[in-house]
Amino acid sequence: MQNDEIPPLGGWSEAELDQAFAAVAREVEEWASGLRSAEDVEQFRLHWLGRKQGRLKAISDAWLKSAPAEAKKQIGQRFNTLKAEIERRLELAGAGSAGNGLDAEAIDVTLPGTRRRLGAEHPLIRTWNEIVAVFQRMGYSVGVGPEVETDYYNFESLNFPPGHPARDTQDTLVIAGQERKPLRDRLLMRTHTSPVQIRTMEQQPPPVRIIIPGKVHRNDAADATHYPIFHQVEGLCVDTNITFGDLKGTLDAAMKAFFGSSVKTRFFPSFFPFTEPSADVQISCPFCGGTGCRKCKHSGWIELLGCGMVDPAVFGFVSQKQPLYDPSRISGFAFGMGIDRIAMMKYGIGDIGLLYSGDLRFLEQFA
């Protein structure tokens, strides 16, 4: 339609606008009542909503664009109402014409329905949740933190001196373009979840009991037991009069809850920069009962995690922001273990890469 086919408005008052738009609405209703087929519906759409020659465009050009500024709002509101009514009529007519044609018979209701396949927890997530649940029952809360960390939180505040081997770029994935920053402000992919311990203590006064699961990154070549991405779960307990005996009792109870009441634990001296004294923890093999098997390399014991009493130097870093962590008044212990390694051991997985492959043939075994 051309603009000259649209009758000019008699004036800009509300009564005159209502009368003009009512006449167009009646025209829409009359046309819509005669729609019978899909072709009719398409003609209706083109006649009213066509971009170049549609009647709505002609109305907009004739009435809205030529209206004085004070009348444009009233015309625009009525125009939008008219357009919505046309679209509603078009939708109803389209549904009706589809139901009257052969398209209604396109679906064969006798065919079996599409069955949605049920998902299952990934073995890593399942192991993660099981470990966290054990410590939650012991009163621990769950902590989270960023995967992109500063050198300060990942190393310095955890008592890693500048020349410590763990700072070597062969082990740590460093964010590019950080050379001009001070060392403590440089960004890297966290190599452990320990920075969350520092962040939690800075934000929360003692006592603290927190379990920290999460993804970590190291520049490791992929093989059967190593991968650049893996998962850790760490724990921290800080209060007054916390002793190494509390640490041993906590971990022994946790291992029994996770692997079974017959599991035993034993501790060996070790070294970690952020704990003193430090220990490695072994558990009696839950698969052979300690008699020796392939999973425990026929030793009867499996080395599972590291732990120790929080080094007073770590509390010294924290006390700069949270003075209540005075190492002369409080103590605490920390521990950490690899979720991937426990999942591999529990489910008999021989290659860590399978956990990250996304291969449904592998994952369906755990459904």
| Pair (144, 93) in one structural domain | no
Structure tokens at 200: 């939690």
User: Same structural domain for residues 161 and 295?
Assistant: yes
pLDDT higher at 57 or 97: 57
CATH code, 347: 3.30.930.10
pLDDT of amino acid 96: 61
Q: In this structure, are 334 and 264 located in the same domain?
A: yes
Percent of the chain residues topping a pLDDT of 70: 94
Within a domain: 71 = yes
Same domain, 208 and 310: yes
Nearest to 232 by CA among 282, 150, 305: 305
Q: Is the dihedral of CA 69, 75, 81, 82 positive or negative?
A: negative
Listed residue (153, 132, 152) closest to 143, CA to CA: 132
Model confidence pLDDT, tens digit, residues 165-214:
877 766 888 899 988 999 899 999 999 999 999 999 999 999 999 999 99
What is the reported pLDDT for 106?
63
pLDDT in tens, 242-253: 999 999 999 999
Measured in degrees and rounded to the nearest 5, phi and psi for residue 217 equal: -135, 135
pLDDT, one tens digit per residue, over 28-50 is 888 888 888 888 888 888 888 88
Residue 229 reports pLDDT greater than 90: yes
| Residue ranges of E strands in the chain | 141-142, 148-150, 187-189, 208-217, 229-239, 265-272, 275-284, 301-310, 331-338
Q: Are residues 44 and 180 in the same domain?
A: no
Question: Of 105, 133, 166, which one is at a domain's C-terminal end?
Answer: 105
Determine the Cα–Cα distance for residues 164 and 307; give it in Å rounded to an integer.
19
**107's tokens:** 């679906």
Of residues 2 and 164, more confidence is placed in 164
Token pair listed for 56 = 């709505």
Q: Give the per-residue pLDDT at 1.
A: 38
For the purposes of burial, counting CB atoms within 10 Å of the CB of 196, is it exposed (0-12), middle (13-18) or buried (19 or more)?
buried
Q: Are residues 351 and 319 in the same domain?
A: yes
Q: Are residues 61 and 134 in the same domain?
A: no
Residue 148 and residue 78 share a domain: no
pLDDT tens across 269-312, in order?
Answer: 999 999 999 999 999 998 888 888 888 888 999 999 999 999 99
Strand partners, 304: none
Do 335 and 307 contact (CB within 8 A), yes or no? yes
Model pLDDT, residue 119: 77
Cβ–Cβ under 8 Å, residues 188 and 152: no
Question: Cβ of 278: how many Cβ atoms within 10 Å?
Answer: 19
Answer yes or no: is 116 within a domain: no
Inside any domain, residue 113: no
| First vs last C-alpha separation in the chain | 63
pLDDT tens digits, one per residue of 53-75:
788 888 888 888 888 888 888 88
* Mean pLDDT of the 96-122 span: 68
Flag whether pLDDT at 241 surpasses 70: yes
What is the chain's mean pLDDT, rounded?
A: 88
User: 5-14, 65-74, 330-339: which has the minimum mean pLDDT?
Assistant: 5-14
Whether residue 197 sits in one domain with residue 312 = yes
What is the count of structural domains for the chain?
2
Interacting residues of 254 by C-beta distance below 8 A, sequence separation 6+: 134, 135, 138
More confident residue, 39 or 267: 267
Would the pLDDT of 100 be above 80? no
Name which of 6, 72, 69, 274 is nearest 161 in CA terms: 274
**Domain assignment of residue 114, yes or no:** no
Domain end marker among 105, 139, 154: 105
**Domain end position, chosen among 45, 73, 105:** 105
- Residue 7 and residue 175: Cα distance in Å, rounded? 68
Residue 356 lies in domain: 123-366
Pair (146, 62) in one structural domain: no
Q: Are residues 329 and 214 in the same domain?
A: yes
Q: State the pTM of this model.
A: 0.66
Statement to judge: residues 244 and 356 lie in one domain: yes
What pLDDT does residue 101 have?
46
pLDDT score recorded for residue 102: 44
- Bridge partners for 269 per DSSP: 279
In this structure, the number of other CB atoms found within 10 A of the CB of residue 81 comes to 12
| Domain assignment present for 118 | no
By three-state DSSP, how is residue 305 classified?
strand
Size (the chain), residues: 367
